[in-house]
A and B are shown apart, each in its own frame.
Chain A
């Protein structure tokens, strides 16, 4: 049994954990639930020995573990699969699985045995992985499985999964969930972190809720209800997640015909987005839907097809050109392409608008004005801090995403492209992001939402295009866009007669 009591952890300026308790029995799935910044990650880092708490007790199977290191935690059977994978991208899958613990025979690496053991484990998990593939070529789901195999081969008896299904499509999610259940049946204790209610209902035997670094409570399986969890998490009663967005399609803003990209990721995509509507782009991870958005913003080279903005053909070459043409794109990976993490909030909000002719005397940036503009945008998105000088890296995932999206409010755009807008974002922030989309739409903008989250894409968009292997396979209008139909189309099946042609 894993037992933590009275855990307190302080970072410069923040009390990350305040007298938190947590228990994990073998053969149990225990969900850790809370908003971004509630302290889940810190708690997990304490469990695996990355952080040393100031106060509290930590026991593994009755043994006192305070002040343990990651290596000792691993030796005692505690492993974690984090959102950020700890895989060496240029090594093969097999090498990564055994990294740092390679089996040897007479001092030489025993690849044969390593492969045999890995294959046996994969067979046990009833999955398949290309063991000789270079890790960087794998899909996100496959990398996830590599991490799981790695943990299992370390004889982990307690495994922590930190949002393993974020940015996975539903089929892949089912696979991960099945593996986790099988681990439980084999007596492994699982800590599961997720924001997705459906998964929590399906997996959890117990749920522990944290809020602002404090322990709120633990509830048993039969007490799990969405309303209850959300109110425990937010301290408020149930919030309306998906707003009702009026559908008032106006003039055509974006029209794409027979688009193909140089990367081959997009082969034949045609679609249109009108002012005053939200259009969803759904599909499995890696189906090319993200590349459609990138191509429209000049981040991916187009080899065939045409892109029209308000009826005028454009050939997107760079983000700066597209920003000037009234297109605003939010990348899926906010850390890599969205934010300058060691710069302050204000600079991150105004960075896409530096060319605006709104600078002060002698063409110099008016710092006060800049701060005010940033502050106004941040307030509209209910950012939890009002100190615009704070470095973005100090903030939680939800707040980082809000800062990225705040750029939408600085000036008027005709078209917004959101690529995976709510990955790793808590429910409170999600609701505010959807409200932002509603406000922008009702103010007359056109919105394209690219998302692997089926629930999200079905509920927020008015129409959905489904992408399979770089091609549009379904065009689903209001009434026709159910989760089942969208899901069916992910595998290239034409869902049924209600599919409508784009030309119509």
Chain B
């Protein structure tokens, strides 16, 4: 129901932008939007994973920046297999961040909002000091080719990777015990615990999964820019929350599916691409996104008021 409305909204937006700016439907722009949205969709999936368990990850932007740097540093340090080493280092960074967030939320019972906000600060501080604020360049040649420009059968690699991740996540949520437990813990952690599910462990690994997915996204983005960037995260935190929520993730927890970050990711990317093409002022774009999030949350509230 909601998914259909989302698809309709996206189509309507496409029509409006196409009328306002014919360039919008050019082959180049369409392929560009598709690739661009794959990054946001992937990161929004990460965000959706923790929203599902009643959480948030405000440290997403910081994680992206730090992973970009550690992966790039791993690749530029001399080694036998620079690319795998860099990727491994990036994923490991994500895992550590996720376990830290998850531990604070699940064991220390600190509000996820506060935990990840603090983590964000820590990560940004580390990112801007380890390289003195400079990007890490001279990445191995194959890296960008492999993870950004390559397009087997005409489909860009980031799109393929995102599609595979979305499929696996969907399968995990619907058909595995871990995925099911995430829904139950998100819906009611006490009830899940009484039913024999270790709510704490599920929370911990949900945050870990979230940050590993972020690391994956950060590595793909690093491949696109061709360098490790301390500011790569930027406004991504808000954008991913916007995408997940606009796509239909409920902040009540225990509700939603991977359709939400996918549809939401497309929606936000198309919106900002369209606004760029129609030369909407940058600040106004930010305002639009903010207003949109609030509007969607109001809708979410109204939907739940009706059912309860």
Contacts and interface: CB of A to CB of B under 8 A. Distances in A.
Nearest to A338: B191
B307 A394 contact: yes
A337 interface: yes
Given A319-B193, A341-B188, A342-B254, A364 B171 contact: yes
A56 B198 CA distance: 50
Contacts of B197: 320, 351, 354
Given A336-B190, A336-B191, A393-B308, A343 B254 contact: yes
A179 interface: no
A354 B175 CA distance: 11
Interface in A153-192: none
B180 interface: yes
Contacts, number: 83
B194 interface: yes
A331 to B, nearest CB: 6
Interface string A136-149: 00000000000000
A347 B196 contact: no
A336 B187 CA distance: 11
Contact of A320 (B174, B191, B198, B250): B198
A364 B175 contact: yes
* Closest A-B pairs by Cβ, 7 of them: A340-B187, A320-B196, A364-B175, A352-B195, A323-B196, A351-B195, A340-B188
Interface in B247-275: 250, 252, 254-255
B24 interface: no
A293 to B, nearest CB: 11
Interface of B: 171, 174-177, 180-181, 183-184, 187-188, 190-198, 250, 252, 254-255, 306-308
Contact of B194 (A299, A355, A359, A394): A299
Contacts of A338: 191, 194
A367 B173 CA distance: 12
A318 B252 CA distance: 26
Interface string A361-381: 001110100000000000000
Given A323-B195, A341-B187, 17 more contacts: A12-B306, A12-B307, A318-B193, A319-B195, A323-B196, A331-B194, A336-B190, A337-B194, A340-B184, A341-B188, A342-B187, A343-B254, A347-B183, A354-B177, A355-B177, A363-B176, A365-B174
B188 A393 contact: no
Nearest to A330: B194
Contacts of B188: 336-337, 339-341
Contacts of B196: 318-320, 323-324, 352, 354-355
Contacts of A342: 187, 250, 252, 254-255
A150 to B, nearest CB: 24
30 contacts: A297-B194, A299-B194, A318-B196, A319-B193, A319-B196, A320-B196, A336-B188, A337-B190, A337-B194, A339-B191, A340-B184, A340-B187, A340-B188, A340-B191, A340-B254, A341-B188, A342-B254, A342-B255, A347-B184, A354-B177, A354-B196, A355-B196, A363-B176, A364-B176, A367-B174, A367-B175, A393-B307, A393-B308, A394-B307, A407-B195
B194 A329 contact: yes
A318 B198 contact: yes
Candidate in A331, A339, A341, A342 with the most chain B CB atoms within 10 angstroms: A342
Contact of B184 (A351, A355, A364, A365): A351
A155 B195 CA distance: 45
Interface of A: 12, 297, 299, 318-320, 323-324, 329, 331, 336-343, 347, 351-352, 354-355, 359, 363-365, 367, 391, 393-394, 407
Contacts of B183: 340, 343, 347
A351 B183 CA distance: 11
Nearest to B179: A365
Contacts of A343: 183-184, 187, 254
A479 B184 CA distance: 45
Nearest to A354: B177
Contacts of B306: 12
A30 to B, nearest CB: 28
Contacts of A329: 194
Contacts of A331: 194
Nearest to B190: A337
Contacts of B191: 336-340, 351
Contacts of A391: 307
A273 B180 CA distance: 35
B203 to A, nearest CB: 15
Contacts of A324: 196
A354 B192 CA distance: 11
A393 B305 CA distance: 12
Candidate in A337, A340, A363 with the most chain B CB atoms within 10 angstroms: A340
Contacts of A299: 194
A365 B187 contact: no
A316 B251 CA distance: 34
Nearest to A321: B196
Contacts of B184: 340, 343, 347, 351
B201 to A, nearest CB: 10
A111 B74 CA distance: 67
Nearest to A356: B177
B3 to A, nearest CB: 16
B181 A354 contact: yes
A425 B191 CA distance: 20
A354 B198 contact: no
A323 B193 CA distance: 11
A72 to B, nearest CB: 20
Contacts of A337: 188, 190-191, 194
A323 B187 CA distance: 21
A364 B180 CA distance: 11
Contacts of A340: 183-184, 187-188, 191-192, 254
